[in-house]
A and B are shown apart, each in its own frame.
Chain A
Amino acid sequence: MDPELLGRLIDGHAAALVLYAGQWCEAPEDVVQDAFLKLAAQRRMPESPHAWLFRVVRNGAINAATAARRRHRHEAGAARSTPWFEPGRAGDRGETVDPETAAAELRALPIEQREVIVARLWGGLTFEQIGELRGDSSSTAHRLYHAGLSALRERLGVSCPRSRSRPTPS
């Protein structure tokens, strides 16, 4: 495998893959590392390495979570050792969301919605790719995405720009 291509994939998608794998297991870095090593060992490069990595990470994270439950080391709702988001990143338009709060609200979402939101917003996958990843249709993926974002909008208090720009009648 081309080392430069591998480096670009790590730089561009490693963090999103760690966030994605963190939906299931407590050690997402190990799962993501194994996925990149499997990609490096492939004789033929997949058509879409990006989507391929997400599929491998998803399977690995689910297996790791199952193994952890079997070892009775599952800790429901326990805080992760590493935060989900880098602290102190401000939005372009000044609308900021606290990383810790966002992470906490994401954890509160159902796993199906959280998975789609993470894959879409930070993974950069299309709804078709997300549907293939989950074994669902693209419309199902979009529906889950819409529902999860609506819930986050209400919990995080992010208002609609249209409502902000519309002048209030006196």
Chain B
Amino acid sequence: MSTQQVPPDPELAAIEEALGALSPSRGRLDRDRLMFRAGQVSHRPTAPGRWGWPAVAGVLAVVALGQAVALRARPASRVVDRVVVVRVPALPSPDPAPVVILSQSPPAPPEAPTVLPWPLDYERLRRQIIRFGLDGLPEPPTFALRPGGRSDRERPEPSGALLRSEIARLLNPGEPL
């Protein structure tokens, strides 16, 4: 076991030989138990691998905590009522089937106002006017004419406008007759 750099000392060779002959004691060291323990240790994950899952769990915990904080700090949603008018365009009606005129009856004459006899009670006159307007008024009565062409009352021959004015006064009770 001597090195080439340091030459062996001949004076110390005897003591080296004498001491080298002694066998160190292994003491309480159990070889078989040590081999068993070494086999267990060699299959155990090393430090970097041992911390793999705890590191993943730590990262997920941080992410969850950050999401919780962000959720708490988020402003409350604001409800805004807004009326939206939706105009639905009129759908074009499908083309109707062509109408074939088989026969055409003469057009009905316009509805002529009913000629009511004179005189009329108030309600009937009112309904007549409402329905047909002034055109629905009955024919005014004819006054008897005296010789001279004038009536006893000396009233001029009533015209439609005059009769209408009198009728208007009748319908408006607030005005004097």
Contact = CB atoms under 8 A, between A and B. Distances in A.
B17 A122 contact: no
B170 interface: no
Interface residues of B, number: 35
A148 B62 CA distance: 61
A100 to B, nearest CB: 10
A126 B35 contact: no
B25 A86 contact: yes
A132 B38 CA distance: 27
Given A40-B41, A127-B3, A159-B14, A152 B19 contact: yes
Given A146-B9, A153-B14, A161-B14, A3 B22 contact: no
Contacts of B155: none
Contact of B24 (A7, A10, A84): A84
B38 A37 contact: yes
B14 A160 contact: yes
Contacts, number: 138
A158 B12 CA distance: 9
Contact of A153 (B15, B26, B28, B37): B15
Contacts of A43: 46
B5 to A, nearest CB: 7
Contacts of B12: 146, 149-150, 153
A103 to B, nearest CB: 9
16 contacts: A16-B24, A19-B25, A29-B26, A41-B44, A41-B46, A82-B28, A85-B24, A86-B23, A86-B25, A89-B21, A89-B23, A102-B19, A150-B12, A156-B15, A156-B18, A158-B14
